[in-house]
């Protein structure tokens, strides 16, 4: 079992409510999302949801792969690739080992909203079967490091 934790504080929302059909219809994979709005002001550090290696890093998204080969995608906001890195600061490099909770990207959810994008952050279990995820924290308020789901 692999516990996947929240990369940032916010409220957990069901994946199907994410305002992007690619994520909402689980085309990328199953998972959940964190809405950082409501109380989160200024810069936020998005942390690694699992221990592993940072195999992909973009200003707005990153993937951590565990030692047993399971990858978790954290996407910081919706359509934020269109911001061309503005408002996002990677803190590590692709290939770096990471520990759960270690800061990966510093960003500003408010600035994302001001730019007309949603700050909702999908957290996706890549190449997972939907039935292999349990223990969802949907509807709960979370702090960075709190459990989002368990990947069995």
**What confidence tens digit (pLDDT) does each residue in 88-126 have?**
999 999 999 999 999 999 999 989 999 999 999 999 999
Which residues in 133-150 are b (16+ Cβ under 10 Å) and which e? beebbeeeebebeebbbe
pLDDT, position 30? 98
User: Using 50, 70 and 90 to split pLDDT, how confident is the model at 41?
Assistant: low
Per annotation, catalytic residue among 75, 83, 98, 125: 75
- Nearest in space to 123 (alpha carbons), one of 41, 14, 19: 14
* pLDDT reported for residue 37: 73
SS3 49: coil
Q: What is the pLDDT of residues 59-79, one digit of tens each?
A: 999 999 999 999 999 999 999
Catalytic status, residue 75: yes
* Band (82; pLDDT cuts 50, 70, 90): very high
- Give the pLDDT confidence score for residue 40 in this predicted structure: 54
């Amino acid at each position: 079992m692999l516990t996947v934790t929240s990369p940032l504080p916010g409220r957990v929302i069901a994946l199907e409510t994410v305002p992007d059909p690619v994520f909402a219809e689980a085309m990328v994979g199953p998972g959940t999302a964190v809405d950082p709005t409501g109380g989160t002001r200024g810069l936020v550090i998005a942390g690694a949801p699992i221990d592993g290696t940072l195999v992909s890093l973009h200003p707005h998204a990153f993937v951590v792969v565990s030692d047993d080969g399971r990858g978790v995608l954290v996407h910081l906001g919706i359509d934020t690739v269109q911001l061309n890195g503005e408002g996002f600061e990677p803190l590590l490099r692709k290939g770096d080992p990471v520990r759960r909770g270690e800061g990966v990207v510093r960003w500003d959810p408010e600035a994302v909203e001001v730019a007309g994008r949603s700050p909702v952050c999908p957290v996706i279990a890549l190449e997972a079967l939907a039935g292999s995820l349990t223990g969802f924290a949907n509807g709960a308020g979370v702090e960075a490091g709190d459990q989002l789901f368990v990947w069995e």
